[in-house]
Amino acid sequence: MAFSKMILWELKQVFKSKKFTFSFVIQFFVILAIIPLFDVYSTILEDPQEIVLPTSTSYVPVAVSSSPLQHILEKQPIFRVYTVSEEEGYTLLEKHVVCCFISGEHIIFDTYNPKARVAEFHLQRLLQQEPTIEIDWHLNEQPVVPQQQLRARELALREIRRTAEMMQSEQINYSTLLVLLLAIFLASGILVDLVVSEKEKQTGEILRSLPISPGKVLLSKVFAVVFVLTCQITLWISTLYVLGRVSSLLSMLPLFLTSFLIISLTCFVSVYAKSYKEAGFAITVSYVLLFAFLMSASTFYVISENLSFLSPLSLVIMIEKGQHIGVAYAALPSFLVSCAFIFVAVKLYGRDEFYFGPRPSFFRLIPFVLRKTLLLCAAIFAVIVFNSVSVAHALSEVIL
Amino acid sequence: MIKIINVTKTFGNITALNKLSIHIRKGELFGLVGPNGAGKTTAIRIVCGILHPTKGRVLIDDRDVFENIDIKKRIGYLPEEPNLYTRPTAFELLQYFGSLYGNSSPQRVEDLLTFVGLHHRKDSKVETFSKGMRQRLAFARALVHDPEILILDEPTMGLDPATAKKVRQFIKTFKRKKTIILCTHYMEEADELCDRVGFLDRGKIVKVGEPLQLKEELKQESTYEVIVNNSNPVLLQQLTPHVISQDSNRLICSLTPEDISGLLSEYQEEIFSIRTITPTLADVFERYTHGIQ
């Protein structure tokens, strides 16, 4: 009863705060403004004469000259089809303006253009659906690649193909979801304010005299922030869904997992920090490290799927590929790590030294944290070791 | 009612309380008196269940404060600084804290605001309140759930005389009705309000008793105010074993008639005056502690 009253109180304080209102409005405008800006930017860059970025639909330019494939290609949003004469087709291919030229029943790929691999991948898929059409495949191998580079090039192209698979036009819209990190940072800021201000203004002393455990006091703040964040993300995702930027509402899952991870880390840092100044510094460092970890783990998807599960950012890809078992598996580590952060923060918040001091140093805290989360650490370590063998194998393949 | 049993509290290498033991009776107003850094605030924070003792126990009606969180419902705590949320109004704040104790009746809040003289400001935000008003509001907050035990840490510290007087009147209102622990280093306040006082020095209780009794004890030792020429080191050295307190050349000493006649015959020129005094609680405080540091 008292716990729910505390959550309501914290929520009321958040919604009454001018800081929150101001940040919310700013955030809303930034999110709304960034969508058209993002589109304009990618359209300019995707002009065939300019650098081509795989950022939206029609990003694979192909030249077609009287081919039975033409009408099929024109229906595929991924292809930008140029109807040309045979001579023009070869010219475009040589100038690397198009990544392949389809002439009659022949396809000639520009192997120096990474998009050729994307085109190859999609064309193969299309041809499987159209068994009546027979096509010969050719590679435009001019200029000649030195023999010793061929193996490395093949491997690189294989990885480019996998990257391309990830970056299909529908999925690229999810990059706009990154702007929703703004909401997470705002929520984190609120949490720091709620936890650290109790120390700075010494209002926490009163809370500790209440017939409620300190852990519940902290959780009431976390729940209030999670509620605010959920409302924000739901609002933004719904807006993006209505605007057609997101096709699957399941994409909220990785966002929630990432935000829960960030909130839990913020919670831990806020409990440990003595002041706003210290919390600000510690949170900046923590976020940099966390993002380095999330991004590096998600890029493992390109090399090997084995470690990609460590980052919820990889989940978007899995969701789109319909790997629901993979999603459940991948959601688990970050969720468990978040729970561990919250659990340790709750334990620390109940200890006198984290409010009244003297606080143990960060290095002396590590054994305590490990002891409290022993089972979880062992499980995560085992999974990492198990997967790192496969990752090492995949990496060695790429390097060699 | 409240038993503090062999409580030790350390902060890193610093021992704030060293085997502290006090027994406070029901309905008593107990003053915890001591110099700065003696461990008064630490002691009452432990009684409130805010701080955990390194060793020892705190029992309220034989139930451990740290094993029965519900005991906290019986305690009202007023910290040294009001430490109130500043965004809500006075009414909202009291109602919120009342609700956490399961007692958020608007009538109770209204009555408390009237009691502390803040009813006319009930819809004002706390951030607009002066220090005195905040202290009165904090007093109301400590009373919002009508606790049996009231623990007050320096309630008049930093207040103007008029507001301090009001706060002392509030405390008097609850005398005998509630068990009160008053932590102060204002001796007059302790003398005026407390049934018993405990002198705390360097984390230990050095003396406990009723103010009157303690003063009488000192009086029986024949306390004299001796004003001397303090440039005479031999005289000062001779007086040192008898000194209770010293302020420049004014010494409060415990002397026998033989001591006085001996001193007067030997140092007639050096002793400017000598007279009996009625000891105050401050003298008792200095007698048993190391004085205000």
Q: How far is B266 from chain A (nearest CA, A)?
A: 55
Beta-bridge partner residues of B275: B225
Q: Which residues of B touch A201 (CB under 8 A)?
A: 83
Q: What digits encode the pLDDT tens for the residues B120-175?
A: 999 999 999 998 999 999 999 999 999 999 999 999 988 888 888 988 999 999 98
Q: Which two tokens stand for residue B141?
A: 């907050």
Report the percent of chain A where pLDDT is more than 90.
15
- Higher pLDDT: B195 or A147? It is B195
Helical packing angle, B90-100 and B131-143, nearest 10°: 30
Mean of the per-residue pLDDT values of chain A: 76
Q: Which residues of B touch A353 (CB under 8 A)?
A: 11
Tokens 């460590």 locate to A310
| Residue B90 pLDDT greater than 70, yes or no | yes
Q: What digits encode the pLDDT tens for the residues A266-285?
A: 999 999 998 888 998 988 88
CA closest to B100 among chain A residues? A2
- By Cβ distance, the residue of B81, B101, B102 closest to A202 is B81
| Degrees, nearest 5: CA angle A113-A71-A86 | 55
Q: What digits encode the pLDDT tens for the residues A296-353?
A: 776 666 555 555 666 776 676 666 666 666 666 667 777 888 888 999 999 999 999 8
Q: What digits encode the pLDDT tens for the residues B92-125?
A: 999 999 999 988 789 999 999 999 999 999 999 9
CB contact under 8 A, A210 and B100: yes
| Residue A45 pLDDT greater than 60, yes or no | no
Q: Which residues of B touch A193 (CB under 8 A)?
A: none
Question: Is B82 near chain A, with CB under 8 Å?
Answer: no
**A 187-216 residues inside an 8 A Cβ radius of B:** 201-203, 205-206, 208-213
* HEC string for chain B: CEEEEEEEEEECCEEEEEEEEEEECCCCEEEEECCCCCCHHHHHHHHCCCCCCCEEEEEECCEECCCCHHHHHHEEEECCCCCCCCCCEHHHHHHHHHHHCCCCCHHHHHHHHHHCCCHHHCCCEHHHCCHHHHHHHHHHHHHCCCCCEEEEECCCCCCCHHHHHHHHHHHHHCECCEEEEEEECCHHHHHHHCCEEEEEECCEEEEEECHHHHHHHHHHCCEEEEEECCCCHHHHHHHHHHEEEEECCEEEEECCHHHHHHHHHHCCCCEEEEEECCCCHHHHHHHHCCCCC
How high is the pLDDT of residue B243?
84
CA B268 to chain centroid: 41
Q: How far is A399 from chain B (nearest CA, A)?
A: 52
Q: How far is B224 from chain A (nearest CA, A)?
A: 44
| Residue A172 pLDDT greater than 60, yes or no | no
CB contact under 8 A, A210 and B101: yes
* Pairwise CA distance, residues B155 & A303, whole Å: 67
- By Cβ distance, the residue of A13, A208, A358 closest to B12 is A358
- A227 pLDDT band, cuts 50/70/90, is very high
Cβ(B277)–Cβ(B252) below 8 Å: yes
Question: Is B75 near chain A, with CB under 8 Å?
Answer: yes
CB contact under 8 A, B100 and A17: no
ipTM at complex level: 0.83
| Residues ≥6 apart with Cβ < 8 Å to B156 | B163, B164, B167, B168, B184, B186, B189
CB contact under 8 A, B72 and A210: yes
Question: Is B79 near chain A, with CB under 8 Å?
Answer: yes
Q: Which residues of A touch B80 (CB under 8 A)?
A: none
Q: What digits encode the pLDDT tens for the residues B172-203?
A: 999 889 999 999 988 889 999 999 999 998 89
Q: What is the strand order of the sheet B2-11 is part of?
A: B14-24, B2-11, B55-60, B63-64
Q: Which residues of B touch A202 (CB under 8 A)?
A: 79, 81, 83
CA closest to B144 among chain A residues? A210
How high is the pLDDT of residue A307?
59
How high is the pLDDT of residue B32?
94
Question: Is B105 near chain A, with CB under 8 Å?
Answer: no
CB contact under 8 A, B69 and A16: no
- B10 pLDDT band, cuts 50/70/90, is very high
Q: What digits encode the pLDDT tens for the residues A237-255?
A: 777 777 766 666 666 777 7
